[in-house]
Structure 1
Amino acid sequence: MRWLQLHLRSRRVPLALATVTALIALAWALSLAYTDSVTISARTASLAIMLAAVAVGTTLNGADDALDHTMAVNWPVRRAGHLLLAAAAITALLSLSMITDTRYEPFALILRNTAGLLGLTALGATVLGAALAWIAPLTWTLIAVLPMMGPSRDLKMQVAGWLIQPAGTTAATACAVILAVTGLLAYALRGCPVRPVSETAPDQ
């Protein structure tokens, strides 16, 4: 299991996990303090999940890009496992609220938004690199939570605001699934772009 410890440490997973936990707990605490609803709003939940996905995005590459692309390691499987475990961790942390009076629910919405935003983050990491993986999830989430966005029967609105559509909305679910699957496959098969040596070399 030493390789797993080294893998997690090289990708700053402990720090990211602590950050994710703190962000989810903060959103829960604010909702508990400032609202009377037992259900955390879809907008607040989406923002919390987006920030958690952004924190995970920092773990999608290591310090040595060459090592992350060597053929001696089955990287597609490791990358896919990394992303799936991240999704499971975020979902589990969100689900802990079910034992309290203020909850992230319904579970289907939490699962949909977590999968879609992590897929979007992974896709951003594949195209732009882990350092810029936050751009896509942050941009789409900020658009989705705008005041003029909301549950709608219009297909375009359902896609643009898929994060805040009710659970079971077909277009929103399809959008999340496409993002999740595309991001998972792209990241697992390609990983992050190889950075110039000048960006990865230690300071002298």
Structure 2
Amino acid sequence: MTPLLLFLRSREVPGGLLCAVPAMALFAWFGAVQADPRHAVTSAALALALGVAVLGYGLGGPDATLDATAAIRWAPRRALHLVSTAVLAGTVVTVVTTAPAGVVLRDAVGFTGLAALAATLFGRRLAWTLPVVTGCVSAGIPAVPEPFALHLLTWAGQPPDSVAALTTAVAFAVTGVAAYVIRGPRRIS
């Protein structure tokens, strides 16, 4: 087997794809069939949170100690894995939803950063926590501009012209990607 196939198998990516892609498509489709465009944005955010959460399980291998001691450079592989996750999730949801592509891209990048941050802080088994909690909060609380703290908390459901939502998503992405690429998933003993 090639090194790429071995890497994908060790991260359980094929199984994650079989679950994540149909789930994202279904959630995004639920919002696309609604008349209100806000439902499309909310459904797209939930679809992305769910898909990135499922794919986030693959951000570490079954043996974190082996990953840490291997004689290969992990940083490029980790970065490529995160980029692939964001691109896949964004593409699937963009194809199905009627939400603006800018919102989908913003949310895909932000949720991927959150999954990477969660994998770094809590380990690969809990990489789903931050994207799911953020997605549910954004879906459960209406997107309002005031108070500002609530506006930041519901960044994933904000309209496409929200600078604060874009800044929050980019901050999560940069922080999560940097932490994950440099440190990798947390080793749970």
TM-score normalised to the size of structure 1? 0.85
The AA in structure 1 aligned to 2:130 is: A
Q: Which residue of 1 aligns with 2:19?
A: 19
Determine if the alignment matches structure 1 residue 166 to structure 2 residue 159. Answer: yes
Residue pairs, 1:49-88, within 5 angstroms: 49-70=48-69, 72-88=71-87
**2:59 alignment partner, SS class:** coil
Offset, 1:71? 5.6
Instruction: State which of 110, 113, 124 in structure 1 corresponds to 2:104.
Output: 110
- 1: CA distance, partners of 2:164 / 2:35: 30
Task: Give the length in aligned residue pairs.
Answer: 189
Question: How far apart are residue 27 of structure 1 and its match?
Answer: 1.6
The answer to whether residue 6 in structure 2 is matched with residue 6 in structure 1 is yes
Structure 1 stretches lacking a partner, 5+ long: 98-102, 197-204
Name the counterpart of 1:193. 186
Q: Which moved more, 1:88-97 or 1:127-136?
A: 88-97
Aligned-residue sequence identity (percent) comes to 32
The change in CA–CA distance for 1:30 and 1:54 in structure 2 (over 3 A counts) is same
The alpha carbon displacement at 1:153 in A equals 4.6
Task: Kindly provide the CA deviation profile for residues 125-179 of structure 1, in whole angstroms up to 9, marking residues without a partner as x.
Answer: 10000111122222222222224x3231542222111111111211111100000
Check conservation: 2:117, 2:175, Cα contact below 8 A.
yes
Q: 1:123-134 maps to which residues of 2 (within 5 A)? A: 123-134=117-128
Compute the RMSD of aligned alpha carbons: 1.9
Q: Give 3-state SS (helix, strand or coil) of 2:144's partner.
A: coil
| The structure with more helix, counted as a fraction of residues | 2
Gaps of 5+ in 2: none
* Separation in 2, partners of 1:41, 1:164: 10
TM-score, structure 2 normalization? 0.91
Q: Does the C-alpha gap of structure 1 residues 146 and 38 become closer, same or farther in structure 2, counting only changes over 3 Å?
A: closer
2:165 aligned with 1:179, yes or no? no
Cα distance between partner residues in 2 of 1:78 and 1:31: 34
Taking the aligned partners of 1:21 and 1:104, their CA distance within structure 2 comes to 17
Measure the CA separation in 2 of the matches of 1:28 and 1:123: 24
Task: Tell me the equivalent position of 1:30.
Answer: 30
Regions of 4+ moved over 6 Å: none
Asked if structure 2 preserves the Cα contact closer than 8 Å seen for 1:65 and 1:194, the reply is yes
Of the candidates 109, 117, 137, which is equivalent to residue 143 of structure 1? Answer: 137
